[in-house]
Amino acid sequence: MRIILHIWRQKDANSPGKMVRYEVPDVNEHMSFLEMLDVLNERLIEQGEDPVTFDHDCREGICGACGFVINGIPHGPQPSTTVCQLHMRHFKDGDELYLEPWRAKAFPVIKDLMVDRSAFDRIISAGGFISVPTGSAPDGNAIPVPKEKADLAMDAAQCIGCGACVAACPNASAMLFTGAKISHLALLPQGQPERRDRALKMVAQMNAEAFGACTNIAECEAVCPKDIKIENIARMFRDFISASVLKRAG
């Protein structure tokens, strides 16, 4: 199978970038998308050219490291799929694919398809944790959790922080990510002591990172590889408004 790629090449955040055309003539339909790029990079290295830089780690859809835009869609055309889980059998011979990095002010380009997503790390550091006493691990059944709440918390906790939600949003909003990280702790008993502080601090950090606002377009939910729901954004707003009111009331 022959695939034509138009890939965004950019030396660093301060350098201009451009689309560069490549042909990959010997693509096996059983390859993953990243394996196909590995084949291209091996050929570029053999020719003495600079290989295409892209983020990756586990290649199992778990770590959230990989991610770029394929033909205008973050992670490509398959729903609930990361780039590393996307296989070439979903494309056909002669297809032309346009590959670009996540586009957001808060995600500056490091090189080519790789962007700096450390803004997400700073949002987590602001409040995405619980305080527990040191010592041995508590018994798993010591604190009963209703199944409905446990299911909702686990759904939110599936967020892998890939950044597709930001790339899909026309406002480059990070509210689906932040909402998921706030929600999965707010829904559990262990997350209650810091619930209000968490919402205030994580939303403040999100705003400080220059992410945009949510206007309920729901593109974030549509491209999320873990099917995180926008209900988490509503839950984040409720916690944030409640915490703000209580803080002003003293």
pLDDT for the residue 136: 82
Question: How many alpha carbons fall within 13 Å on the CB side of residue 112?
Answer: 17
**Mean residue pLDDT across the chain:** 95
Residues 152-165 have a mean pLDDT of 97
In whole angstroms, give the CA distance from residue 169 to residue 174: 9
pLDDT for the residue 236: 97
What are the boundaries of each domain within the chain? Answer: 3-110, 117-249
> What is the C-alpha end-to-end distance of the chain, expressed in Å?
66
Helical residues (DSSP H) of 2-132, grouped into ranges: 33-46, 118-127
Whether 132 has a pLDDT exceeding 80, the answer reads no
Q: What is the pLDDT of residues 164-219, one digit of tens each?
A: 999 999 999 999 999 999 999 999 998 999 999 999 999 999 999 999 999 999 99
88 pLDDT band (50/70/90 cuts)?
very high
Nearest to 179 by CA among 162, 209, 197, 159: 159
Residues 225-245 have a mean pLDDT of 97
Q: Does domain 3-110 have CATH number 3.10.20.30?
A: yes
Residues 147-155 have a mean pLDDT of 95
Contact of 212 with 169, CB cutoff 8 Å: yes
Look up the pTM and report it. Answer: 0.94
Show the tokens assigned to 3. Answer: 């695939």
Helical residues (DSSP H) of the chain, grouped into ranges: 33-46, 118-127, 147-157, 164-168, 175-186, 195-208, 219-223, 231-249
Contact of 74 with 102, CB cutoff 8 Å: yes
Is there a shared CATH topology between the 3-110 domain and the 117-249 domain? no
Which fold would CATH assign to domain 117-249? Fumarate Reductase Iron-sulfur Protein; Chain B, domain 2 (1.10.1060)
